[in-house]
Amino acid sequence: MATVIVAGMGPADVDYVPSNVRSLSQEHLTYIRTRSHPAAKMFADAESFDQIYDEADTLEHVYVDIAERLVAAAILHGSVLYLVPGSPLIAERTVELLRLEDRISVRIEPAISFLDLAWARLGIDPVEVGVRLVDGHRFTSEIKNVVGPVLVAQCDSQFVLSDIKLSLDTDVPPRVTVLQRLGLKDEAVFDVEWDDLDRSFEPDHLTSLWISAMPATAVGVSVRSLYSIVQKLRAECPWDRSQTHGSLAEYVLEEANEVAEVLLSIDAGEASTASLVEELGDLLFQVLLHASIGEEESTFTLVEIIEGLRKKMVRRHPHVFDRNPDERMPDLDELRIQWAAIKAQERK
């Protein structure tokens, strides 16, 4: 069977490249995920996939395309060498995809990862303190239900840092240690305040964050508690367990109408906000029921609902999230035009 040999280049300069990787590169047609790595200069003849990063719409498309090209090359040549930053087994989505392939075999050549250097700089035993490793690009979804120490990898842009900062809703934000370019001459390890996370330093592809204790937020705790009740009802209550997306449609309409009626009554001075709180809770319950059904059927999750909505709101409000402070805020007519243009682009 055709083989893709995946070898790590280590976390920093050529000093960390395993001794057998150079000989492997001389024996096999060699590909390198990206040249944005200090040790990439050691493999000048290797073909990189940097162009895919420039052309693809999303990172997932990048990884899928890389994996497919490697499979095709392995089938054509019998075997190829694929070089990745750090370790092939740490935060390498392309390797995950390759290992799912039944058209090829995958051989892993281990290497030191950035984690080894991170634990040394932080002076901790990750097993003893129970560290959770999280991808910065998927921070919002992966941080679900996590309380305690977290190392956030691949914090390679201001956008990722802003996404991380905005995802945490707490009155007591944690302090963060930034780890950059570990193992290189210009490595840096320093603390920043949570509010300054996306504006106090320049991130790069060798940037990680250490959060010694992720706090449980009041909103997060409440939502998790309510959602656990919904899941228990789905598991043990015959009525709730028998519901489907379709059977719940009438109740969604009913609860939405009741919310609308209370809203109009409040404007008319005929109802209190206490009534609105109750009706909004009933409508939220319907959302959580559908999320629970989606999770049971492995079609979608509550996190996907929230994350999809969050991204949509950020995307549709560039005047809030992507506006230079010196720029004029658009007026209502301009906002309507902007809103329509963004929705039209989304439909494409």
126 and 52 housed in the same domain: no
223 and 210 housed in the same domain: no
Other Cβ atoms less than 10 A from the Cβ of 82: the count is 30
Query: What's the domain count of the chain?
Result: 3
Q: Which of 215, 232, 251 is the last residue of a domain?
A: 215
208 and 228 housed in the same domain: no
pLDDT of 345 strictly over 80:
yes
**Phi, psi values for residue 34, rounded to 5°:** -155, 150
Q: Which of 66, 94, 112 is the last residue of a domain?
A: 112
Domain-located, residue 152 = yes
* pLDDT value at residue 224: 76
Rounded Cα distance between 225 and 46, Å, is 52
Rounded Cα distance between 64 and 94, Å, is 7
Contact yes or no for 136/198 (Cβ under 8 A): no
Domain-located, residue 348 = no
**Range 315-336 average pLDDT:** 86
User: Which CATH number goes with the domain that contains 46?
Assistant: 3.40.1010.10
**Phi, psi values for residue 155, rounded to 5°:** -90, 70
- pLDDT tens digits for range 179-213: 999 999 999 999 999 888 888 899 998 999 999 88
Cα–chain center distance at 34: 20
224 and 333 housed in the same domain: yes
Is the torsion defined by CA of 246, 251, 256, 261 positive or negative?
positive
Q: Which of 112, 136, 166 is the last residue of a domain?
A: 112
Rounded Cα distance between 137 and 115, Å, is 17
pLDDT of 244 strictly over 60:
yes
> What is the residue type of 325?
P
pTM for this structure? 0.57
**Which residue range forms the structural domain that includes residue 191?**
116-215
Closest listed residue to residue 70, CA positions, set 55, 58, 84: 84
DSSP characters over 287-302: HHHHHHHHHHTTS--H
223 and 337 housed in the same domain: yes
